[in-house]
Amino acid sequence: MADYILSFPPWSGSTFVPRGPHHAGHIPSNLALPAGHKLPKPFVAVITGASRGIGAGIAKAFASAGATGLLLTARKAKDLEATKQACSELSKGNGNDELKVVCVEADNGEEQSAIRIREAVEKEFEGGSLDLLVNNAGTNASMFAKLGEIDTSQIEGPNQVNLLGRFYMTKHLLPLILKNSRPAKSIINVSSIGSHVSGPLGFSLTALATNRLSQRVAEAYSDQGVFSAAIHPGAVWPEVVPEGFPESAKEWSTENVDLAGAWLVWLVGGERKEWLNGRYLDVTWDVEELEKRKDEIVERDLLKMRLMI
Mean pLDDT of 183-189: 96
Q: What is the pLDDT of residue 1?
A: 42
Q: What's the rounded Cα separation, in Å, for the pair 202 and 206?
A: 6
Burial class (CB in 10 A: 0-12, 13-18, 19+), 97: exposed
Q: How confident is residue 142, by pLDDT bands cut at 50, 70 and 90?
A: low
Across 183-192, 237-246, 295-304, least confident range: 237-246
* Predicted confidence (pLDDT) at residue 156 exceeds the cutoff of 90: yes
pLDDT digits (tens, 9 = 90+) for 2-59: 455 666 777 788 789 887 765 555 677 677 665 556 899 999 999 999 999 999 999 9
Residue spans of the domains in the chain: they are 34-300
What is the pLDDT of the chain when averaged over all its residues? Answer: 89
Q: What is the pLDDT of residue 109?
A: 96
Q: Beta-strand (E) ranges in the chain?
A: 44-47, 69-74, 100-105, 132-135, 186-190, 227-232, 280-282
Q: What is the pLDDT of residue 2?
A: 47
Measured in degrees and rounded to the nearest 5, phi and psi for residue 265 equal: -60, -40
* CATH architecture for residues 34-300: 3-Layer(aba) Sandwich (3.40)
pLDDT digits (tens, 9 = 90+) for 71-97: 999 999 999 999 999 999 999 998 889
Name the percent of the chain lying above pLDDT 90: 67
Q: What is the pLDDT of residue 9?
A: 74
Please give the residue that has the higher pLDDT: either 39 or 187.
187
Q: Report the interhelical angle of 81-93 vs 53-64 (nearest 10°).
A: 20
Q: How many residues does the chain have?
A: 309
Rg (C-alpha) for the chain, rounded Å, is: 18
DSSP 236: B
Q: Beta-strand (E) ranges in 149-270?
A: 186-190, 227-232
111 within 8 A of 88, measured Cβ to Cβ: no
Q: How confident is residue 161, by pLDDT bands cut at 50, 70 and 90?
A: very high
pLDDT digits (tens, 9 = 90+) for 229-275: 999 998 665 666 566 566 655 555 567 788 999 999 999 988 889 99
Mean pLDDT of 124-135: 97
Q: What is the pLDDT of residue 86?
A: 97
Q: What is the pLDDT of residue 4?
A: 57
Sheet holding 44-47, edge to edge: 100-105, 69-74, 44-47, 132-135, 186-190, 227-232, 280-282
Please give the residue that has the higher pLDDT: either 198 or 284.
284
Q: What's the rounded Cα separation, in Å, for the pair 303 and 243?
A: 32
Measured in degrees and rounded to the nearest 5, phi and psi for residue 103 equal: -110, 130
